[in-house]
Chains A and B, each alone.
Chain A
């Protein structure tokens, strides 16, 4: 039980992706123009991560070592297609604004990285706990970045129409702002982590 808890909690702080564990950056920058998109992307990635970790771990004794990466990609791609279809059916607006970054979850290195580094040599329960922790950590990071970029870039409080800044800092909504904001957040987390 304590093992499960440990694997779950590590994704939430000590190796929180993408700050401590710099993988899967493309969606992080692309979709966090609003907090809502950030949460949507995080949930989608978490679902794929948990499912792929589960299946990779369950099949770990069957998959031959030489073709394992190809097998992982097929497993991940299958779940991504599921997410793509579900989102198109039940959340068309979100699916529209996330655009090509939904199919691109396939090549998110975080998911392939967890399959290769963790799920292929650990039992099912531990792998699911690891996937869930990493996924929730990833969602938290996306939410935080989305919150900052929406609040300062657009000047509105997320999920409301309330304008708090008369002169929004438009830079943060664009690509350069995304890079700089992520870089600075990474630096801040490094400072906090040093204690």
Chain B
């Protein structure tokens, strides 16, 4: 039950993208087409679940050595090398998956959702299982918002948007409206 609450809250109520404002650059960058949005969503789920597992261990090590203050530096290095490693591993072992996720993987290093969720895991003092559940659910929430947004954005091709708002402007306003609709989930828990 406790995990269920955590999952629902991470996906709908505290959606990482729409409520916590993490990962906006890829959100606006890759959401022009449905296919790329789906690819990005799965790449984030994949990397975030691994990253939260590893950064959890790394933080324990830092705590033992009493150098928690270099947390940010350590985490970003872990994430960057993890992404690189995953890319090489997939290329060698599962080429089909590499082809599907390939170009999105390098972009994930600078996706603040990944680093952000890893830091939230530590700040909220989650246990390892809670951290993993929270990370996967957050990534799923990110994917959900991204795919919803891409679906709407594809329709903009046909719409007559006022000139000054074309591109990013209307994108942000749409994101605001999706975020507003997610507010309705607030009463759920």
Contact = CB atoms under 8 A, between A and B. Distances in A.
Contacts of A80: 72-73
B115 A186 contact: no
A179 B180 CA distance: 10
B112 interface: yes
Given A78-B73, A183-B165, A100 B172 contact: no
A69 B110 CA distance: 11
A50 B157 CA distance: 39
Contact of B162 (A81, A84, A103, A187): A187
Residue from A30, A80, A176, A190 whose CB has the most chain B CB atoms within 10 Å: A176
B19 to A, nearest CB: 5
B180 A176 contact: yes
Interface residues of A, number: 41
Interface in A16-50: 22-26, 29-30
A78 B20 CA distance: 25
B141 to A, nearest CB: 13
B183 A176 contact: yes
Question: What secondary structure prevails in chain B residues at the interface with A?
Answer: helix
B95 interface: no
B23 A180 contact: no
Contact of B77 (A73, A174, A187): A73
Interface residues on B, range: 35 or more
A195 to B, nearest CB: 12
Interface string A88-103: 0000000000001001
B111 A107 contact: yes
B18 interface: yes
Interface stretch (B37-45, B116-124, B125-133): B116-124
A59 B165 CA distance: 40
Contacts of A164: none
A30 B179 contact: no
Contact of B72 (A77, A179, A183): A77
A77 B77 CA distance: 9
B169 A26 contact: no
A84 to B, nearest CB: 7
Interface string A169-192: 000001111111011101110110
Given A29-B21, A77-B76, A183 B115 contact: no
Contacts of B80: 69-70, 73
Nearest to A183: B172
B72 A85 contact: no
B93 interface: no
A84 B119 CA distance: 14
Interface in A140-195: 174-180, 182-184, 186-188, 190-191, 194
Given A100-B123, A103-B72, A107-B112, A184 B173 contact: yes
18 contacts: A26-B21, A26-B24, A30-B21, A70-B80, A73-B77, A73-B109, A78-B73, A81-B69, A84-B69, A103-B75, A104-B115, A174-B183, A176-B183, A179-B173, A183-B165, A187-B165, A190-B164, A190-B165
Interface of A: 22-26, 29-30, 69-70, 73-74, 77-78, 80-81, 84-85, 100, 103-104, 106-109, 112, 174-180, 182-184, 186-188, 190-191, 194
